[in-house]
Amino acid sequence: MDNGELIAGFCRWLEAQECREKTIQAYRGRVEKWLEYLARHKVGYLEVDKERINYYMHFLLVKQKAAAGTRAQAFYSIKQFYTYLITRGQIEINPVDGAVIPKKEQKLKGSLTNDEIALMINAPGVNTELGLRDTAILTMMASIGARASAICGLRTGDIKAEQVRLPGRCTHCNQVDRSGRANLKGKKKMVVIVNLKEKGGQKWGVPLHDKAAFYLNQYILTRKLARDSDIVFPAYRCKELRPINRHGLHTLVKKYAARVGIKESVTPHSFRRAAITWLLDCGVDEIVVQRLVGHADLSTTEKYRAVTHRAFHWAGIAAEKSLLEAIETPMDGVIESISRL
């Protein structure tokens, strides 16, 4: 049976399945291109396995620049084609089963790239008190993905230093002994813990990356405005010194986004999304991330509370897996020299 007769039989089978005419035409076109692809590679349509399907999906993406929707349509067209062959008794197992289904990438509105965040963090400068304050705010949002309300509500009493012992590393392979079975002695390290007040008024401590902790510490130690106040990030409103509010934080973020030429709408939540995405992409456990950023729902809040600071450090949130590891800040040299002491 040649390809023409094969496709005609496939279309008649689709009609019997009560598929719409547009669907039949779309599936016909996708299967024709699939058979042409197999012919170019000298592969019979009965010799296909799931790896060949994956290769074809990769071909559509890289060579044809096909969108996710187009690739998904091709995927399901081919799957239906092999389902038809099963009904004819030509094959027993659908080779498409187990192949990777193309999915449409979800790009969130207002999302930021690492380069854009780096530009914004470097925009305020560190030579003025206001610039150092804004740098501390931006690095903190990039480090822990805190909500705007949590940043605005910070008090100096919410910040503390805590000594933790990092997991030991093998001297041969440099892998982390997370289980403790190898009895490797890890190094002790002082970290900055920030008690965030999230929705519902609950507070819990999360560790800051060294870079964010450095700028926060430098700002608090050197500032003149609100020097004797417990307000961490002060601002004048109605000629009175008060904590920066959500409107002020939004204005701050939009100002630096405009300064570095970002045309899309940027909000403090853009930093939150970027930080969460980065942590998940680095393989940090979802439960740890949910507790870090306060995404726990009513049924799982308690289990998130049970996660200790050690889980954060072992996951690398305050170190190598933080978004700030990929971003250059104005005083990286000073921070690195201090960390080596």
Q: According to the model, what pLDDT value does residue 301 have?
A: 28
Q: For the domain that residue 120 is a member of, what is the CATH number? A: 1.10.443.10
Both tokens assigned to 114: 């690492």
Instruction: Note whether 128 and 204 are same-domain residues.
Output: yes
Find the mean pLDDT for residues 259-275. Answer: 86
Distance CA 28, CA 86 (A): 18
Answer whether residue 108 is part of any domain.
Answer: no
Instruction: Note whether 82 and 158 are same-domain residues.
Output: no
Answer whether residue 331 is part of any domain.
Answer: yes
Answer whether residue 93 is part of any domain.
Answer: no
Q: According to the model, what pLDDT value does residue 297 have?
A: 53
Q: According to the model, what pLDDT value does residue 304 have?
A: 30
* Residue 175 identity: Q
Q: According to the model, what pLDDT value does residue 25 have?
A: 93
Q: Which residues of 102-133 are buried (b: 16+ CB within 10 A; e: fewer)?
A: beeeeeeebebeeebbbbbbbbbebeeeeebb
The model's confidence at residue 305, banded by pLDDT at 50, 70 and 90, is very low
Answer whether residue 277 is part of any domain.
Answer: yes
Instruction: Note whether 192 and 237 are same-domain residues.
Output: yes
Instruction: Note whether 187 and 307 are same-domain residues.
Output: yes
Domain of 188 in residue numbering reads as 114-339
Instruction: Note whether 80 and 121 are same-domain residues.
Output: no
Instruction: Note whether 82 and 129 are same-domain residues.
Output: no
Both tokens assigned to 190: 């002082």
**Contact assessment for residue 192 and residue 160, using Cβ atoms and an 8 Å cutoff:** yes
The model's confidence at residue 299, banded by pLDDT at 50, 70 and 90, is very low
Q: Count up the domains in the chain and report the number.
A: 2
**Contact assessment for residue 95 and residue 82, using Cβ atoms and an 8 Å cutoff:** yes
By C-alpha distance, which of 29, 25, 32 is closest to 4? Answer: 32
Answer whether residue 298 is part of any domain.
Answer: yes
pTM: 0.58
Q: According to the model, what pLDDT value does residue 248 have?
A: 93
Distance CA 3, CA 177 (A): 58
Instruction: Note whether 195 and 325 are same-domain residues.
Output: yes
| pLDDT tens digits for range 64-92 | 777 778 889 999 999 999 999 999 999 99
Q: For the domain that residue 18 is a member of, what is the CATH number? A: 1.10.150.130
| pLDDT tens digits for range 87-115 | 999 999 999 998 888 876 444 555 688 77
Max avg pLDDT among 30-39, 113-122, 230-239, 289-298: 30-39
**Contact assessment for residue 189 and residue 166, using Cβ atoms and an 8 Å cutoff:** yes
Distance CA 328, CA 249 (A): 22
Q: Which of 87, 105, 130 corresponds to the end of one domain?
A: 87
The model's confidence at residue 315, banded by pLDDT at 50, 70 and 90, is low
| pLDDT tens digits for range 143-164 | 888 888 889 989 999 999 888 7
Answer whether residue 98 is part of any domain.
Answer: no
Instruction: Note whether 147 and 51 are same-domain residues.
Output: no
Both tokens assigned to 272: 């939150």
Instruction: Note whether 118 and 226 are same-domain residues.
Output: yes
Distance CA 173, CA 270 (A): 37
Left if phi > 0, otherwise alpha if psi is -120 to 50, otherwise beta: which for 125? left
Answer whether residue 258 is part of any domain.
Answer: yes
Answer whether residue 65 is part of any domain.
Answer: yes
